[in-house]
Amino acid sequence: MLNIVETIKKIAFEIENAIQTEDLGYSDSENSSGEEQLKLDVKSDLIIEKAFTNVSSVKALVSEEKKGVMEMNPNGEYTLCYDPLDGSSLVDVNLSVGSIFGIYKGELKGENLIASAYIVYGPRVEMVYVERDMKPLLYGGYQETFRELGEITLDEKGKLNGPGGTQQNWSKTHKNFIDRLFQEGYRLRYSGGMVPDLHQILLKGGGLFSYPATTDKPNGKLRQLFEVIPFALIYEQAGGEAINDKGERLLELVPSHPHDTSPCFFGSKYEINALKEAYGRD
């Protein structure tokens, strides 16, 4: 596992360099979800694939940018599911973006996630890493190395509200719930980048990030294996909760396809309990 974490740290600075130096234009290809790929998406994906080729503990890779499972080392124990550059369309307006990694052992489902990590490419490169029996650890990037900055803990109740998805396509229940939080004085914090948006709520003590089922995306937009489940472990280990629109833990999801999505809610206990009540799932 140590090798995997060290490789993620190396990847972080290679992708940061790519963000600073590579062409921000679109490639002439699409990812497996039919989304146009930026040249940076392709480059970041290649950086990660190359970096893990020689890590003997990695059995396979599943990338948001590729269709299937990429076999690596037959004797490896772990499968890495990752989004190489989440929110990449924000790079050309100079907003923060990130890479997300889920480390699985066995069948690709929530209960087999054993660790997760994400990198934030912002004013500074930062990394968060978690395993099942620990608090998430925050690392700050300085001159191509990371320094551990401490554990992350969510307050029981926060102040920030990150409501995803197109509002006109929200259900009435969801709209009423989001409006209620704002009436309670929550502050809007939403950039359209899952990594910086969830990172901010984690580091500012809590609140709620939501990407619900919508009329245009009835199964939500965010991918289970390499976005939703990895962040669910981080939020639960930080003392918060992470559920879907049925009130089920996201760490209990069992995707039937590597690119399956799920409605998802991440937050402090107060906000998640209030959401369960609003959705009739308490």
All residues at 6 or more sequence positions from 6 whose CB lies less than 8 Å from its CB, including other chains:
none
Residue 258 touches ligand P6P, criterion: CB under 6 A: no
Which of 65, 86, 131, 271 forms a contact with ligand P6P (CB under 6 A)?
A: 86
Stretch that binds ligand P6P, among 42-50, 53-61, 191-199, 229-237 (CB under 6 A): 191-199
Q: Which of 136, 158, 164, 230 binds ligand P6P (CB under 6 A)?
A: 164
The residue behind tokens 């995803």 is 164
Distances, alpha carbon 212 to alpha carbons 61, 171, 172, 215, 230, in Å: 28, 9, 12, 10, 17
Which C-beta is closer to ligand P6P: that of 199 or that of 221?
221
CA 46 vs. chain centroid, Å, equals 19
d(CA 282, CA 275): 9
Q: Is 230 in the site for ligand P6P (CB under 6 A)?
A: no
Tokens coding 82 = 């990752």
Of 38, 186, 221, 234, the one binding ligand P6P (CB under 6 A) is: 221
The distance of closest approach from Cβ of residue 143 to ligand P6P in the complex, given in angstroms and rounded to an integer, is 28
* Rounded CA separation 214/170 (Å): 5
Task: Out of 84, 87, 240, 267, point to the residue binding ligand P6P (CB under 6 A).
Answer: 87
Of 136, 141, 158, 193, which one interacts with ligand P6P (CB under 6 A)?
A: 193
Q: How many residues bind ligand P6P (CB under 6 A)?
A: 8
Minimal distance, residue 184 CB to ligand P6P, in Å: 22
Query: Does 207 contact ligand P6P by CB under 6 A?
Result: no
Piece in contact with ligand P6P (CB under 6 A), picked from 108-116, 125-133, 192-200, 246-254: 192-200
- Using CB atoms, what's the residue nearest to ligand P6P? 194
192 binds ligand P6P (CB under 6 A): yes
Measured at the alpha carbon of residue 85, what is the angle toward residues 71 and 245, in degrees to the nearest 5?
90
Burial pattern 129-164, b for ≥16 Cβ within 10 A else e, equals: bbbeeeebbbbebeeeebeeeeebebbebbbbbbbb
Pick 146 or 231: Cβ nearer ligand P6P? 231
- Between 16 and 64, CB nearer to ligand P6P: 64
Tell me which residue has tokens 């004013």: 123
According to the binding rule CB under 6 A, does residue 65 interact with ligand P6P?
no
Q: Does 271 bind ligand P6P (CB under 6 A)?
A: no
Tokens of 18: 């790519």
User: Are 42 and 61 a contacting pair, CB within 8 Å?
Assistant: no
- In angstroms, the CA 268 to CA 84 distance is 27
Residues that bind ligand P6P (CB under 6 A): 86-87, 164-165, 192-194, 221
